[in-house]
């Protein structure tokens, strides 16, 4: 008997591709910016977070069925709040950058990791989708842990003979660079996942029992 569920025009691969694009933009902006200050880091993070949040919240209704909407909704709300907090110009500081990035990374990473583990155990989602959620969730948590280990007040002056100039390596520069590296990893992984072939469900391959062959299949 044919399924009554309507076919969805958007799939998980479209969500992954959109997230990959926004992560790639954040990585490029940080990589090619000579300024890795808190103001620049929070500005890039804010744009990345708000755009990603909107995509997650829209996908909750356009991509996922009713029983699987809680992960993108929770992650979308948390990411939107973090992006909005980082977008307040008067609040931007080194301390705020680390607080927002660490809290966001640990919270959203936990929920994405949890959704992947639960989906894999209960077979509520395809194995490839569950694997991707586990990987991205774990990498996001590692971003939070790595940022937590960076001393915000760190400062090291060093001299480059080739440039004949003194430079200063700061904790915020390291933190912004770590976030840029995270964004690059997410962009590459989700980009590959979005274009990877999906396994065809067994129900779509096997003909239903007792089904009559179409005219073109009759001998």
Task: Judge whether 6 lies within some domain.
Answer: no
pLDDT at 9: 65
How many whole angstroms separate alpha carbon 93 and alpha carbon 99? Answer: 10
Task: Judge whether 118 lies within some domain.
Answer: yes
Residue where the block lists tokens 């931007």: 92
Task: Judge whether 91 lies within some domain.
Answer: yes
Task: Judge whether 3 lies within some domain.
Answer: no
pLDDT at 198: 65
Task: Judge whether 126 lies within some domain.
Answer: yes
Domain that holds residue 41: 12-197
Indicate the pTM of the whole model.
0.84
Number of domains the chain is built from: 1
Name the β-bridge partners of 168.
157
Q: Which residues of 46-80 are buried (b: 16+ CB within 10 A; e: fewer)?
A: bbbbbbbbbbbbebbeebbeeeeeebbbbbbebbb
pLDDT at 10: 78
207 contacts: CB under 8 Å, gap ≥ 6? none
Counted residue by residue, the chain has a size of: 219
Task: Judge whether 87 lies within some domain.
Answer: yes
Task: Judge whether 215 lies within some domain.
Answer: no
The pLDDT averaged over each successive group of 10 residues in the chain (219 residues) is 51 93 97 93 97 95 86 96 94 95 98 93 85 96 97 85 81 96 97 80 44 45
Beta strands in 102-178 (DSSP E): 155-160, 165-170
16 contacts: CB under 8 Å, gap ≥ 6? 132, 190, 191, 193, 194
Dihedral-angle region of residue 139 (phi above 0 means left; psi in -120 to 50 means alpha; beta otherwise): alpha
Task: Judge whether 108 lies within some domain.
Answer: yes
């Amino acid at each position: 008997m044919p399924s009554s569920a309507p076919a969805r025009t958007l799939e998980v691969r479209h969500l992954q591709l959109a997230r990959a694009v926004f992560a790639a933009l954040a990585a490029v902006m940080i990589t090619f910016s000579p300024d890795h200050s808190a103001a620049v880091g929070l500005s890039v993070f804010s744009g990345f977070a708000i755009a990603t949040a909107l995509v997650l919240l829209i996908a909750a209704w356009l991509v996922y069925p009713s029983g699987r909407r809680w992960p993108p909704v929770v992650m979308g709300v948390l990411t939107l709040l973090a992006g909005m907090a980082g977008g307040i110009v008067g609040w931007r500081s080194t301390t705020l950058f680390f607080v927002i990035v660490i809290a966001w990374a640990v919270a959203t990473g936990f929920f994405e990791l949890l959704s992947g583990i639960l989906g894999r155990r209960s077979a509520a989602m395809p194995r490839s989708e569950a694997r991707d959620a586990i990987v991205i969730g774990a990498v996001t948590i590692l971003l939070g842990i790595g940022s937590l280990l960076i001393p915000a007040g760190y400062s090291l002056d060093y001299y480059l003979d080739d440039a004949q100039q003194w430079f200063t390596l700061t904790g915020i520069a390291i933190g912004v660079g770590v976030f840029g590296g995270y964004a690059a990893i997410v962009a590459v992984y989700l980009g590959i996942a979005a274009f990877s072939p999906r396994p065809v469900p067994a129900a779509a391959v096997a003909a239903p029992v007792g089904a009559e062959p179409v005219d073109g299949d009759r001998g």
